[in-house]
Amino acid sequence: MATPNTPLWEVFIRSRNGLAHKHCGSLHASDATMALQAARDIYTRRGEGLSIWVVPSNAITASDPSEKGMMFEPAESKIYRHPTFYDVPDEVGHM
Amino acid sequence: MAAPSIKVSETPLVLYALRRADDALILGHRLSEWCGHAPALEEDMALANIALDLLGQARTLYSYAAEVEGKGNDEDKFAYLRDVRQYRNLLLAEQPNSDFAHTLVRQFFYSAFADLYWRAMMQSRNPTLAAIAAKSEKESAYHLRHSSEWVIRLGDGTEESHRRTQAAIDDLWAFTGEMFEVDEAERGLIDAGIAVDPATLKPHWLKTVAGIAAEATLALPKSDWMQQGGRHGRHSEHLGHLLSELQSMQRTFPGAAW
């Protein structure tokens, strides 16, 4: 029910062993309190999370899909930015 | 042939467990009727979650009642093979869903009580009841939060949501007195430190309910005339219809499993 009274919210969940909140979906709710409860009821039913963030969808500024050529393609030809040309000495251990 | 009803040896402790179990089963069943029909998908899930919490509470309490009774009954027999007159739930729990406001006000009245009740029961001298209470309290605390937030928004929402929520409070108020009733069977358990004395919870319940009602711009009825009978098997006409749906499979195909 996408009505002006129930705007869209994006839901981020931090899982048991995760360090960062990850986007897991969206929902409609009248306000932040109800959005948090709905997120709990929809996205943590199987013990998925220990922390929830809800963010009004209209607070997110997104890149324009039609600009993906300009935005992302220039990076594709720059393989030297990947750290695959270095030999990591054994003493360094796990990086 | 339809499966006949079981006989239950209602010792005070068996009766005590059955009353709590019946509250949870019947209210849970009522909420499950919303599944696929709630005003929004989000709330459909929320109500189903609460229904499942209540069903879980009912199951542990029925199992415990069966263990105490020791007559070969089990959770399924208690749920599916007792007649209306053998049900011991609060009349509040069996009241029809009516509209969304009635459903949420019913939940709010019950959860505000249940949360206090389980918290008190965590101190029971009976370790099984104390453990059931500890698990149930976390669930009812959320049910209370969820239903309170809705009551506030419905009461202080549009003209229509206010009107409907006030009507729900007026309709359901007379069913709240039963929560604080104590009979002789329960008095003995209270004195033994096993059962909760609900009378001690009433001031706290009233405070919670009055606080939320005020925030929701809703008025609590002045009337203190209260319905009773559910705890002794005298129910409104609604419970029979509910049970006929809940029990139809097991009554028609006794012992059916899938």
Interface touch B42/A45, C-beta < 8 Å? no
* Strand segments (E) across chain A: 8-15, 22-28, 49-56
Which residues does B218 contact at the CB level (< 8 Å), separation at least 6?
B151, B155, B162, B165, B166, B169
Phi-psi sector, B55: left (phi>0), alpha (psi -120 to 50), beta:
alpha
Is the Cβ–Cβ distance between B101 and B242 less than 8 Å? no
Whether A91 is covered by a domain: the verdict is no
The string of pLDDT tens digits covering residues B186-214 is 999 999 999 999 999 999 999 999 999 99
Of B42, B45, B146, the CB nearest to A29: B42
The string of pLDDT tens digits covering residues B163-179 is 999 999 999 999 999 99
Indicate the range of A69-83, B112-126, B135-149, B236-250 predicted with least confidence.
Answer: A69-83
Partners of residue A37 in chain B, C-beta under 8 Å = 46, 145-146, 149
| Domain assignment of residue A17, given as a range | 8-81
Identify the CA nearest to A39 among candidates A52, A30, A57. A52
The string of pLDDT tens digits covering residues A12-38 is 999 988 889 999 999 999 999 999 999
Q: Where are the domains of chain B?
A: 12-252
Say which CATH architecture domain B12-252 belongs to: Up-down Bundle (1.20)
Whether A92 is covered by a domain: the verdict is no
Q: What is the CATH number of the domain that holds A61?
A: 3.10.20.520
Mean pLDDT of all residues in A46-53: 92
- As for how many domains chain A has, the answer is 1
The model carries a pTM of 0.92
Whether A29 is covered by a domain: the verdict is yes
Whether A1 is covered by a domain: the verdict is no
The string of pLDDT tens digits covering residues B128-170 is 999 999 999 999 999 999 999 999 999 999 999 999 999 999 9
How far is the C-alpha of B136 from the C-alpha of B126, rounded, in Å?
A: 15
Edge-first strand listing for the sheet containing A49-56:
A22-28, A8-15, A49-56
Residues 88-147 of B with CB under 8 A from A: 142, 145-146
For residue B146, the chain A residue with the least C-alpha distance is A37
The string of pLDDT tens digits covering residues B109-124 is 999 999 999 999 999 9
Q: What is the pLDDT of residue A3?
A: 58
Whether A3 is covered by a domain: the verdict is no
